Structure 1
Amino acid sequence: MPDQRFDEERLSRALAGRRILLTGHTGFKGGWLALWLRRLGADTTAVALPPCDRGPSLFEAIDVDGLVDHRLCDIRDEAAFAQTVMDLDPDLVIHMAAQALVRPSYVSPVETFQTNVVGTAVVLDAARRFQSLKGVVVVTSDKCYDNQGWDWGYRESDRLGGSDPYSASKGCAELVVDSYRRSFFAEPDSPILASVRAGNVFGGGDWSVDRLVPDIIRAVEAGKPVQIRNPASVRPWQHVLEPLAGYLMLAARMLEGDRTIGGAWNFGPDADATVDVATLAGMVESAWGRGAPNFVFGDPAKSPPEAAILRLDSQKARERLGWRPRLTLADAVALTVEWYRAGLAGRRDLRLLSERQIARYVMGVRPATLPQFDPVFREAAACA
């Protein structure tokens, strides 16, 4: 992990006691953000669909409903969402609720567009009516770009689009955000509206179908080999805490009244963390140690098409926010393996482990030191 200072005190000064409306807290990234907002002292109300009932979830593993004012609603239903938030007057909205996967978008394209495009409009339309609102952060995806297969990173000013329904829906969501920014958030005293685009995020507690790390964990649990569809696909891999740190830095600046930070922002990893699927699978295998998963590499021609290469240029966030990745890819993998090994060993204090991972991220403690640093890791490693 690079030796650099992360100013969490500034985040706490900006967010402590603030009223936050968060959507998507029953999902993977939303659950981690709810935990971090609690650490910072924010007063968070969270709205989402129920967590998936077909298996484990981060929401249940760390008891997210105990971290927030937990409310259930489908963001596609304008009237229901307005009713759900009618008693609120938040200082900040962070919109994360989404259909977040490429392959399911081929199965349910209309639902994908309804959630990611119409749902974003519903949330923004409710947000513009909050009297105390200072800012809105809308989370989209690195896949919002019209991917031309370039070997260099996409910048915030590059063309939006996408051939698959998921990518296209995220490009459309960005257009919705831009329209609301120019139509309803353009006055000098208006709330600040920003969109954020991150790479392929992984970390403890993700159980989504058709994602590499969750697929690995399910295979390990079942004692089966891991089927890898597209081993040569190159992605900007990053631990979940990396983009969340960027989102929180933006949020803090909004609450401080910095109007220069409206617009779109990339939060991607360093170049050495943009690797193909086969390389990341090998790193997981190495970090796992005893009982590591076995991999079987498939034929990409038999899967729905996905972009072969995708990179992000995060220079804007580095120069204007002071954000930069704090974890090497090896460190990110180590943190992730730590979390899942603890879960598979039957640990019941996964919220505590998750809180400690946030604390170590903030302090800059390398995962290589964890066996000497964290008794939770020591016990998990001994049981795995």
Structure 2
Amino acid sequence: MTKPRALITGITGMVGSHLAEYLIEHTDWDVYGLCRWRSPLNNLEALVPRINRGDRIRLLYGDLRDTLSIQQAVRQAQPDYVFHLAAQSFPRTSFDAPLDTLETNVQGTVRVLDALKDHARDAVIHVCSSSEVFGRVPREKLPIDEDCSFHPASPYAISKVGTDLVGRYYAEAFGMTTLITRMFTHTGPRRGDVFAESSFAKQIALIEADLIEPVVKVGNLNSLRTIADVRDAVRAYHALVTVDPVAGACYNIGGTYSCSVGQILDTLIGFSPRGNAIRVEEDPDRLRPIDADLQVPDTRRFKAHTGWEPQIPFERTMRDLLDYWRGEVSRRGDSFLVR
């Protein structure tokens, strides 16, 4: 009997790499990962030996802006399960590159779903939207449920509204089993340094190594966030496609620990032996023109459907994130930009 096949777009990212590891360890599926030829493979380091041996995991090269490459990748993978994670995923960057963000995220999702319609119509497909679609939510509407209206606060968020609606459209128009997630803040090892909490951890690691002055540069510290661990997130994504998937369904997914961005910073500084010497300075370049400042999810629908619960506490997530950056700084020294 042929083993199931999974296709992960964006496999080299934080979530994609953790998801690949989870599927290799907890299923018998073969895993196909879509990435750009120039994507760094650092996050896949633990899987490279398997990739080299062709042992249950294979990389396919393509770009969300290139229709033919996406069609070819889907034909090669012939997936039973798809996790569409690839995106221009940095909200702050989207203010500088809005058209690139819209093309990559909206048109890119259309390319992926159209290729699946032609070559793997029966696949169970996870379309990764974002909690950013809700944007500026009034406090009286917290926690945010799936029926909350969209009020996107960045070009990235607007692109994810498009992604969200495209996913639902392919379910309704073509009978495809697309499922949409609006994942709230999730972090941990391998988190990109353009995101606030990872930037803090990276700067602290550089300070501990005496590579920069003991100053952490920050943006808006007042935004409220609910934090989940990336390793809990990938368990949720596996449950999404395997526990009675409902075509066109959308779910909020997130953690249970809510705090301000400033409290995240305080936690990370508190883990550092240099904490008492670290100063905090606001950097105007780190402020968004508009901020989605109340991101607290109602996740009851997803939990009731799948039985999933987050397991990793906030403090462990933050310690592991800081330890990840300590390891990266130890390996690469002062070759990092301070972002």
TM-score exceeds 0.5: yes
Counterpart of 2:267 in structure 1: which amino acid?
A: M
Task: Check the 8 A contact 1:47/1:73 in 2, yes or no.
Answer: yes
Distance in 2 (alpha carbons) for counterparts of 1:214 and 1:51: 23
Match of 2:57 in 1: 68
Distance in 2 (alpha carbons) for counterparts of 1:209 and 1:236: 18
Distance in 2 (alpha carbons) for counterparts of 1:20 and 1:133: 13
Distance in 2 (alpha carbons) for counterparts of 1:64 and 1:32: 16
Structure 2 residue aligned with 1:211, among 196, 205, 213? 196
Counterpart of 2:63 in structure 1: which amino acid?
A: D
Distance in 1 (alpha carbons) for counterparts of 2:139 and 2:108: 31
Q: Matched residue pairs, number?
A: 318
Match of 1:36 in 2: 22
Counterpart of 1:197 in structure 2: which amino acid?
A: R
Match of 2:85 in 1: 96
Residue 342 of structure 1 deviates from its aligned partner by 4.1
Distance in 1 (alpha carbons) for counterparts of 2:123 and 2:46: 32
1:78-97 deviation digits (Å, cap 9, x = unpaired)? 12211233233211111000
Residue 203 of structure 1 deviates from its aligned partner by 0.8
Distance in 2 (alpha carbons) for counterparts of 1:173 and 1:122: 11
Task: Check the 8 A contact 1:89/1:133 in 2, yes or no.
Answer: no
Q: Which runs of 5+ in 1 are unaligned?
A: 1-15, 186-190, 348-384
Match of 2:335 in 1: none
Structure 2 residue aligned with 1:339, among 317, 324, 328? 324
Flag the 1:114–1:247 CA change in 2: closer, same or farther, 3 A.
same
Match of 2:166 in 1: 176
Give runs of aligned pairs for residues 230-379 of structure 1, distance below 5 A.
Answer: 230-253=220-243, 258-260=244-246, 262-270=248-256, 273-287=257-271, 289-292=272-275, 294-298=278-282, 303-305=287-289, 306-346=291-331
1:248-291 deviation digits (Å, cap 9, x = unpaired)? 111222xxxx2546410111111xx221111011111223x324
Distance in 1 (alpha carbons) for counterparts of 2:279 and 2:299: 32
Task: Check the 8 A contact 2:12/2:44 in 1, yes or no.
Answer: yes
> Are 2:146 and 1:162 equivalent residues in the alignment?
no
Q: Identity, % of aligned pairs?
A: 24
Distance in 2 (alpha carbons) for counterparts of 1:266 and 1:132: 25
Counterpart of 2:61 in structure 1: which amino acid?
A: L
What secondary structure is seen at the aligned counterpart in 1 of 2:31?
A: strand
Flag the 1:338–1:219 CA change in 2: closer, same or farther, 3 A.
closer
Structure 1 residue aligned with 2:32, among 40, 45, 67? 45
Counterpart of 1:275 in structure 2: which amino acid?
A: C
Residue 122 of structure 1 deviates from its aligned partner by 0.7
Distance in 2 (alpha carbons) for counterparts of 1:223 and 1:208: 16
Match of 1:8 in 2: none
Distance in 2 (alpha carbons) for counterparts of 1:86 and 1:325: 35
What secondary structure is seen at the aligned counterpart in 2 of 1:217?
A: helix
Distance in 2 (alpha carbons) for counterparts of 1:161 and 1:62: 39
Task: Check the 8 A contact 2:61/2:69 in 1, yes or no.
Answer: no
Task: Check the 8 A contact 2:167/2:248 in 1, yes or no.
Answer: no
Residue 145 of structure 1 deviates from its aligned partner by 1.6
Residue 70 of structure 1 deviates from its aligned partner by 0.8
Residue 235 of structure 1 deviates from its aligned partner by 1.4
Residue 74 of structure 1 deviates from its aligned partner by 0.8
Residue 219 of structure 1 deviates from its aligned partner by 5.1
Task: Check the 8 A contact 1:24/1:97 in 2, yes or no.
Answer: yes
Structure 2 residue aligned with 1:109, among 98, 101, 121? 98
Distance in 1 (alpha carbons) for counterparts of 2:205 and 2:38: 23
Runs (4+) of structure 1 exceeding 6 A deviation are: 299-302
Output the TM-score relative to the length of structure 2. 0.85
Task: Check the 8 A contact 1:161/1:171 in 2, yes or no.
Answer: no
Residue 118 of structure 1 deviates from its aligned partner by 0.5
1:42-83 deviation digits (Å, cap 9, x = unpaired)? 201111224656xx9424576498373112211121122112
Distance in 1 (alpha carbons) for counterparts of 2:17 and 2:279: 29
Distance in 1 (alpha carbons) for counterparts of 2:309 and 2:49: 27
